[in-house]
Structure 1
Amino acid sequence: MKEKDWYSYDTRWDLYAKDREDFVAKFVVEGKFHEGVPEDVIKSFETVSYLLAHSYYHWPMMDEAMTKLLLILEMVVKLKAQELEISLERKTKNNKIITRRLIEIIDDIFQNEYLLFLKPDFDRARNLRNMKMHPDRHSFMGAMGFTDSNARLFVNIINLLFLETDKLKALHSKIKSIEATLQPFKSGLHILEFQNKKILIDGFHMFKYREFNKNKLLMMYINPLTTKVHEQFLEHKYPEPLIITFTDFIINDNSIEGVDLNGKLMKIYSNEKEENLKVYQKYLFALSKISEIEIGIFSSSNASKALWKIERIIYENCWKDGSLINKESKN
């Protein structure tokens, strides 16, 4: 019998990567954790990285990496519960001691108000667990399962959960404050100036603010006014979601001013000049001709991409000096 070649790459990756180097750059996610993250979690995530890397030779290993991520999620929940002195067990009516369901423990963890800003991200991860642990059928998603994107999401969640309590409380407070000051920019006509361009925008869909050590990021998912409404919504030629990131900023009554990831000036400000209002009215009229179903399909697709792009920005820019976070706070 001919010996199997265990180290030939899986040709299905030809659709996604030019070669192994390109594959690693696109799909392999390394753990980047500050020293407050438990060692068991860090070691377990290393296995995820290896599974992602070795899926180059066997496509289904990408799915196994996802399974490992979800097991890490359970570990993280239990370790955080222990840190918060939340019991992992409960008594039944017959006085029998049983292990509590994961959802019950998660609900108790998020009774702490300062952790609530993490709840939406954690729910995304938990929903993935429910789908993976209770599949309708046996299947392999491979690259289509967004395991690399989920891995970055998990890294970000884990790093946040295990920050010191005072840092989490300060971050929660800052997010609430920014949310209030951003309300005037949520809708209405504005100009976005960045990358030597001026773009007419209809507010923003969502924002995230993250602050670690000296790394501050205000990320906004912007809604630019398109002049190609028919093409975008009916021909499904969806543009990439527009995410802008301020690393330093000031929010005034009528403007947001600051610099982007490359240190370039960036600005959002109200502008209702007559010519802009005409463009806006034309956009709204064209949009009124599109069905709610088509708008919903576009919104869902773009929002999903936007969330993954934001998690990548956090992963790549917040944790590069992650090991310094708690060291500096202890000195």
Structure 2
Amino acid sequence: MEYEGPFYYRLRLHGSEDKRVLTKKDLDGNATTFKDPVTQNKTPKIYILKQEEEVVYIGYASQSIGTRFGQGIRANGAKGYHGYKWKQEEELELFVFVFDHLLIGNKNKEDEPYVLLTEAVEAELVYLIREKTGKWPQFQNEIHFNNNNLPRAKEIALKMFNTIDSELPWYQPDSRWEIWGIDSKETFVVKFVVPGKFHSKVPRDIVAAFETVTYLMAHAYFYYPTYDEAMSKALLIMEMAIKLKAQELNIELKTPPNRKGDVYDKKLYKIIEEVCENEHLKFLEADFNRAKNLRNAKMHPKKHTIMGAMGFTNGNTMLFVNVINKLFLDKEELTYIDKTETRLKEKIENFRDGRYIVEYNNLKILAWKIYDLKYVRYKDQDLFMVYIGTVSKDLKKDIETYNYIPLVVPMSIFKMDDFGFSGIDVYGEPITFMENQDPNIIEKFNHFHQQKLNLSFSDLRFHIAQMENMVMWRYEELMYDNCWN
């Protein structure tokens, strides 16, 4: 049995002591009535009342909440039941959790497991309040004790407690993050929040604006679609960055006057073109055009969509941070980075198809090529990122199981000669990549290449594209983690 909620209402009671009247307001403070699903009959519910951040009552109901409250508020002791102890209070917050099971009713035997489980949840919740606060809920009349399905009851009770143990429902974790393996705020921050990291030459306006991106990403923990808004803000900051750089380069942001003397803002693509006409900035043009296209799609949507984590906001944000940092490096620094990377890329052409052994992290890995290399330098610290093509034991299975884990080695020391390379990675581990003609491993290489021949062109192309895509994001992650301040 699953549940949904909490459904929130702010309650106000007024009238004489023996004729209390209940009114309801929604989250926005507007007058309302109880609405589906809390009005469903023959449906197990747990309802929780809070007053000034303190849980004061926990109850179980199967009838409509309105019906249940009417009984408890109108009761005057005529039949031995005096009703709720909290009915003399003036304001309370109500949280209702509704289970997804329809009861038969009339105390039918088949209903018993569902009723007992819900009552066990009620009891475990009351106990949790006692354990956490040192006292029982102030207006608790009774508790239905039982040990029915106790592990499940405890699990549900703890989730409900964590949900209402906050000021307002806006600050409850959004359950949609669970599909991404998120089980706590700390896990979410590690996986999905990207704080701004910028060197001192990046304009302060960009640094300050990026704080908003970080906060939007963090608060998406409570509302999944907020993650999309973080992306939108980051894209606007990319636009700000290219315009600030244009001003720095004395590039006009306005068009020349037309025949009528009218002056307009330059189109973004034109500003990107003019900035990247500078030789040392040409390599950034593709990244800015990519951001421009994303921005256009975001600013002119054809329908409402929610991408959340599928939009890869965290990866794109790392990319944007890296691009902005590079954009505001000195011309001499960028020229050095570009020339060094170009020189190294020419050298790795010698290692395109062969038999190699990678010794790294106490492993010996078969490799057949160096696919690519990226280089960046910041504050006299080098970062070499080398993408190595490894030999798969079962390429077909890798494709069928979506096993795309490329070997990208981040190094702070990198030395290359005619036979391979050696170095030290950013974690202090040594690595070597050397040619190896051991007859015992030739068969493994031959098997790998035969696997490629056996694949359809579309499968092989798809595999290569997926690996290249993963490599691109890995480059950005490594650069973000190991550069900037």
Quick check: TM above 0.5? yes
C-alpha separation between the residues in 1 aligned to 2:405 and 2:301? 30
Q: Which residue of 1 aligns with 2:443?
A: 278
Q: Is 2:230 aligned against 1:90?
A: no
Higher helix share: 1
Q: Which residue of 1 aligns with 2:389?
A: 223
Runs of 4+ deviating beyond 6 Å? none
Shift of 1:93: 4.8
Which deviates further from its counterpart, 154-163 or 184-193? Answer: 184-193
C-alpha separation between the residues in 1 aligned to 2:301 and 2:438? 54
Say if 1:115 and 1:172, in contact at 8 Å, map to a contact too: no
1:237 and 1:116, CA in 2 relative to 1: closer, same or farther beyond 3 A? same
Q: Which residue of 2 aligns with 1:317?
A: 482
Say if 1:8 and 1:57, in contact at 8 Å, map to a contact too: yes
Shift of 1:61: 0.5
Q: Which residue of 2 aligns with 1:194?
A: 360
C-alpha separation between the residues in 1 aligned to 2:380 and 2:331? 18
C-alpha separation between the residues in 2 aligned to 1:206 and 1:133? 35
Q: Show CA shifts across 1:98-127 (max 9, x none).
A: 211111111111111222333343343333
Q: Which residue of 2 aligns with 1:169?
A: 335
Q: Which residue of 2 aligns with 1:8?
A: 172
User: For residues 12-161 of structure 1, what are the structure 2 equivalents within 5 Å?
Assistant: 12-16=176-180, 17-91=182-256, 93-94=258-259, 95-161=261-327
Shift of 1:277: 3.2
Say if 1:88 and 1:100, in contact at 8 Å, map to a contact too: yes
Q: Which residue of 2 aligns with 1:327?
A: none
C-alpha separation between the residues in 2 aligned to 1:81 and 1:11? 43
C-alpha separation between the residues in 2 aligned to 1:62 and 1:217? 30
Structure 1: which amino acid aligns with 2:178? D
Q: Which residue of 2 aligns with 1:258?
A: 423
SS, match of residue 385 in structure 2: strand
SS, match of residue 247 in structure 1: strand
C-alpha separation between the residues in 2 aligned to 1:303 and 1:78? 31
SS, match of residue 170 in structure 2: coil
Say if 1:236 and 1:298, in contact at 8 Å, map to a contact too: no
Which deviates further from its counterpart, 115-124 or 152-161? Answer: 115-124
Say if 2:243 and 2:253, in contact at 8 Å, map to a contact too: yes
Structure 2: which amino acid aligns with 1:164? D
Structure 1: which amino acid aligns with 2:353? S
Q: Which has the higher contact order (CA 8 A, sep 6+)?
A: 1
Name the larger-Rg structure.
2
Q: Which residue of 2 aligns with 1:212?
A: 378
1:185 and 1:136, CA in 2 relative to 1: closer, same or farther beyond 3 A? farther
Say if 1:189 and 1:201, in contact at 8 Å, map to a contact too: yes
Structure 2: which amino acid aligns with 1:11? S
C-alpha separation between the residues in 2 aligned to 1:139 and 1:7? 23
Say if 1:156 and 1:315, in contact at 8 Å, map to a contact too: yes
- Taking structure 2 as the reference length, the TM-score comes to 0.63
C-alpha separation between the residues in 2 aligned to 1:308 and 1:262? 19
- RMSD across aligned positions (CA): 1.7
C-alpha separation between the residues in 2 aligned to 1:122 and 1:202? 34
C-alpha separation between the residues in 1 aligned to 2:226 and 2:461? 33
Say if 1:238 and 1:298, in contact at 8 Å, map to a contact too: no
C-alpha separation between the residues in 2 aligned to 1:135 and 1:289? 43
Q: Which residue of 2 aligns with 1:326?
A: none
C-alpha separation between the residues in 2 aligned to 1:312 and 1:249? 19
C-alpha separation between the residues in 2 aligned to 1:187 and 1:112? 36
C-alpha separation between the residues in 2 aligned to 1:188 and 1:92? 60
- Taking structure 1 as the reference length, the TM-score comes to 0.91
Q: Show CA shifts across 1:244-283 (max 9, x none).
A: 1111011111121110122111011222333333322221
The percentage of aligned residue pairs carrying the same residue is 37
SS, match of residue 230 in structure 1: helix
Shift of 1:92: 5.8
SS, match of residue 204 in structure 1: strand
Q: Which runs of 5+ in 1 are unaligned?
A: 323-331
SS, match of residue 64 in structure 1: helix
Q: Show CA shifts across 1:294-315 (max 9, x none).
A: 1222222222222112211111
